[in-house]
Chain A
Amino acid sequence: MEIRQIELEVMRYDPEKDKQPWFQQYTVPCQEDWAILDALNYVKDNLDTTLAYRWSCHMMVCGSCGMMVNGEPSLTCKTFVRDLPGKVRVEPLENFPIERDLVVVLDDVMQKLHKVQPYIIRKDDPPPEGVEYTQSRGALAKFKQLTMCINCMCCYSACPQYGLDNNFIGPAALALAHRYNLDSRDQGKSQRLDILADHDGVWDCSFVGACSEVCPKHVDPAAAIQQMKIDGALEFWKQKLGFPGGES
């Protein structure tokens, strides 16, 4: 295997010592098939044990290793050294406070994911004994793409509106809410829209579209949010004109 030297510029921040973040350079001999995460692991194992970063699966499933790679929110396990220039800058995800080095504080989005009621809401809850809610493949296809989210939060990092005002519920949580709105077994769309289409909800999105461009799982949160704006606009008049909040 061919070895290629890259200069890794890593943002460092120690809350107990540093007033603000700074960059540290590491020279990393990379193998051909390495992702940026492998380069970070090399640093941790061989050059600097103090470097803090999150990762777990190394296969695009866990969503832990999202970072800025040369300014782009990326999963470092699927961002390959061979596709990058000889100098690579790694920073913690933008729009989030830095806990330490490449680790960011995610408390805010965790709350938001909870806030949008991301679960099936039924009027007959708990369901009558022996009742199963079946779903056709066509009905599943309506929202399947939205279930692919691994909560890596690259989308929040790409979203300027969240960066400017973090009251905005933001892409991943709204996409997750839309996944339940589109679920044929769910009856909570109207009640969910009261949260999603309130202030700080879908209207704070100005369809920059960056969230969808950086999404490593092609969830397309921007599309989900625009669809919810249409739903919200229709639901507003439905409620104003006094139509019953029945689910289709």
Chain B
Amino acid sequence: MAIAKKAVVWGLFAGGGTLTAFIYPALIALFLLIATGNVPAGLQYEQIHTFAASWVGKAVLFIVLFLSLWHAAHRLRVVAHDFGIRKDKLIANAVYLVATLGTLMTAFYLISIS
């Protein structure tokens, strides 16, 4: 008997869940503003580029996107189980692979912004 590796993904799930609960309503609201055509000043190219190019901006964006990806991945694994899909190994590999890809993409783009 030993503590299962699920402890690791659960930790990311819980951290990401807390983070999305706090931050995603504001994120969705910003997309809503953009959709209405009222693009706020901070989301003009110059401003958002400066933010994403700063180390603080990169760190914040990375932590938010990384934890959100792993939160969603783990929860989707549970959703699949709840809908009766019993191939847990396969599902787990698939969702964590997508989360890993998303993490790598985030890291790559953030490093590229200068």
Contact = CB atoms under 8 A, between A and B. Distances in A.
Q: Do A and B touch each other in the complex, judged by CB within 8 A?
A: yes
Interface of A: 160, 164, 193-195, 197-199, 201, 203, 206, 229-230, 232-233, 235-236, 239
A197 B4 contact: yes
A233 B2 contact: no
5 contacts: A199-B6, A203-B10, A230-B14, A233-B8, A233-B11
Interface of B: 1-8, 10-11, 14, 78, 81-82
Contacts of A194: 1-3
Given A206-B78, A206-B82, A198 B10 contact: no
Given A206-B82, A229-B14, A230-B14, A236 B7 contact: yes
Closest 3 CB pairs of A and B: A236-B7, A233-B11, A203-B6
B20 to A, nearest CB: 15
Contacts of B2: 194, 198, 239
Contacts of A206: 78, 82
A66 to B, nearest CB: 25
A194 B82 CA distance: 26
Contacts of B4: 197-199, 201, 203
Nearest to B6: A203
Nearest to A199: B4
A52 to B, nearest CB: 34
The majority secondary structure among interface residues of chain A is helix
A198 B14 contact: no
Contacts of B10: 203, 229, 232-233
Contacts of A197: 3-4, 7
A170 B78 CA distance: 17
B3 A235 contact: yes
A233 B7 contact: yes
A89 B7 CA distance: 41
Contacts of A230: 14
B14 A233 contact: yes
Nearest to A201: B4
B74 to A, nearest CB: 10
Contacts of A193: 3
B82 A236 contact: no
Contact of A198 (B1, B11, B78): B1
A193 B10 CA distance: 15
Nearest to B84: A164
Nearest to B8: A236
A194 B7 CA distance: 11
Nearest to A208: B82
A128 B111 CA distance: 61
B71 to A, nearest CB: 13
Contact of B7 (A160, A164, A195, A232): A232
B28 to A, nearest CB: 23
Given A197-B4, A236-B3, 8 more contacts: A193-B3, A194-B1, A198-B2, A199-B6, A201-B4, A206-B82, A232-B3, A233-B7
Nearest to A239: B3
B95 to A, nearest CB: 15
